[in-house]
Chains A and B, each alone.
Chain A
């Protein structure tokens, strides 16, 4: 039922009807997807959507209530985390404060019975790779946020696993450092060629780093796809709203001529250019999105047919501005334009404007 893009290579992880319940509460409701070898997959959603639970099931920190998880072809249900090669980077980083930086990195090698000499050599190699070799003998508490991040990565990667799990590792960093660490993570993943599964609530983190993104809400997977696919073709209202689109219209499909549809909404009849995916017949209810950048805006008295709405406010976003509007029915709409395009328009709160768009600017939500 999900709009799935096939994984780019052979799968390293496969989730088959995975359900996780905590008592009465269902944290994950039937997760079915694959993660490719060498893929950077982000699992995104707001708090409580089940993204962390999904990651913890991959790590072996939670066992699924139903369904199967396959790692590298083998079913791993019930297999303890210490018997898997699925190192994880915690949101809190979970570095051992009673060990030095180097001892932290050596930890999992020590647990595997690697000899002291080899342990030191491998740990130092990773500290060097993460550019923190000079802090090897320091106490973890004396490092900055970014340096600690690097220790956590080195500690997880020192055993050279095939997959790395990351649970919102950047959420504690300030904006500047966050962007820098995103680049570090991206490059690291490309260099190593291993699979990264990255849980986050931040769209910018997910979309800037991931090959594919899984969007979850209340335990359900809403959409899986590349950032471009999801951005340009959200599957349903939830995903569209999650990505920040406000301009969602719902109406009845009254006429089809090829892929040019006529949709009768509360605001009038609109021509919609439907893509190849949605399967709808005349009489069906249809929802479509018009992205904020593709909306045209003009003064109310120009006589162009369209939708009337009143200005609520304006927000500056660098070189452009987002105008927030409201229809008489109370529906919220957003238009994003350059300052130049908006210069001639009266944007005082309450002033009426006319909105219109090309049929090609519409995207029909296939999952609605």
Chain B
């Protein structure tokens, strides 16, 4: 290892300042206030472990924690499974020219605010909404979709899909085409090649795409509230509930720190798994 030059340190400076000001310092502050005390709706600096004890011994917290984890996992699996065939087709079956257009089209959802898109989905999912109206013409329904877990998942998957497809496409683009032909040549049929050669070859990118879906879904506030109804709450809804009731910012900080800890663990595990090599 050579020591980084003054020049490269200068280049890293803006990022360093940004991360310090908007990530490291707030995080440290968050850790600090999780030990503060609230008295008469006033926060006071303290070293009070009561907030941690109070939250971590509550069933409500663990219920919300499990709910968030399950929803995020379901959204991750669903998004990855829905995205993969599309990403595969884009990467392997389209010409370079068409591929560029499809990637452009995939970026379009990011033009509209997530909240606006979720309001639009309410119109689709509500009891008298567009989907139920269409099903009604076929003589089925209506199905209650708004304010259900299904509604939450629809929102989360909609949020994650474009990003996950893009990440999957980019990782599939890097799969060595010779490997695919070699597999065929060694008697591996088309479908089997997808699972025994293409997926393992693109593993790093596919895992990172899934990780993004998990991170976005686990911390999502909008879909669980506006499409899932917000009750029973997920962790992010729990945080707003706690802050609203009696200025309990310290307890909300505990919930937030538990979420950050969970995401760090999941991300670390996912990346370790993604880069794990076979053999000695």
Contacts and interface: CB of A to CB of B under 8 A. Distances in A.
B59 interface: no
Interface stretch (B95-103, B143-151, B179-187): B179-187
Interface in A208-222: none
B188 A94 contact: no
A92 interface: yes
Contacts of B189: 82
B192 A139 contact: no
30 contacts: A59-B185, A61-B184, A80-B184, A82-B185, A82-B188, A82-B189, A88-B182, A90-B178, A90-B181, A92-B176, A94-B181, A96-B179, A96-B197, A96-B200, A98-B278, A99-B200, A100-B278, A101-B279, A107-B183, A107-B188, A108-B186, A108-B188, A112-B187, A138-B279, A139-B277, A139-B278, A139-B280, A141-B277, A142-B280, A155-B186
B185 A61 contact: yes
Contacts of B182: 88, 90, 94, 96
In this complex, the member of B176, B179, B186, B277 whose beta carbon has the largest number of chain A beta carbons within 10 angstroms is B186
Interface string B186-199: 11110010000100
Contacts of A61: 181, 184-185
B201 interface: yes
A255 interface: no
B178 to A, nearest CB: 4
B203 interface: yes
A87 interface: yes
Contacts of A103: 278
Interface string B155-190: 000000000000000000000101101111111110
Contacts of B185: 59-61, 81-82, 86-88
A82 B193 CA distance: 11
B278 A99 contact: yes
Contact of B187 (A90, A101, A111): A111
A73 interface: no
A98 B203 contact: yes
A111 to B, nearest CB: 4
A142 B278 CA distance: 11
A258 interface: no
A140 B203 CA distance: 17
Given A92-B176, A111-B192, A97 B201 contact: yes
A100 B187 CA distance: 19
A344 B250 CA distance: 100
Main secondary structure of the interface of B (DSSP, over half): helix
Given A98-B201, A98-B203, A111-B192, A142 B279 contact: yes
Contacts of A108: 186-188
A201 B274 CA distance: 39
A112 to B, nearest CB: 6
A94 B179 contact: yes
Interface residues of A, number: 31
Contacts of A92: 176, 178
A109 to B, nearest CB: 9
A87 B200 contact: no
The 8 closest A-B pairs by CB, nearest first: A139-B279, A94-B182, A108-B186, A100-B279, A94-B178, A98-B200, A111-B187, A82-B187
B176 A94 contact: yes
B184 A81 contact: yes
Contacts of A82: 184-189
A94 B177 CA distance: 9
B97 to A, nearest CB: 15
A137 interface: yes
A87 B188 CA distance: 12
Interface in A76-133: 80-82, 86-88, 90, 92, 94, 96-101, 103, 107-108, 111-112
Which of A97, A111, A137, A141 has the largest number of chain B CB atoms within 10 A? Answer: A111
A136 to B, nearest CB: 9
A111 B280 contact: no
Identify the interface centre among A59, A81, A139, A156: most chain B CB within 10 Å of its CB: A81
Contacts of B201: 96-98
B216 to A, nearest CB: 27
A349 B196 CA distance: 63
Contacts of A87: 185-186
A82 B181 CA distance: 10
Nearest to A112: B187
A107 B203 CA distance: 19
Contacts of B184: 61, 80-82
A137 B279 contact: yes
Contacts of A86: 185
Contacts of B176: 92, 94
A108 B138 CA distance: 50
Contacts of B203: 98
A285 to B, nearest CB: 46
B51 to A, nearest CB: 46
A86 B184 CA distance: 11
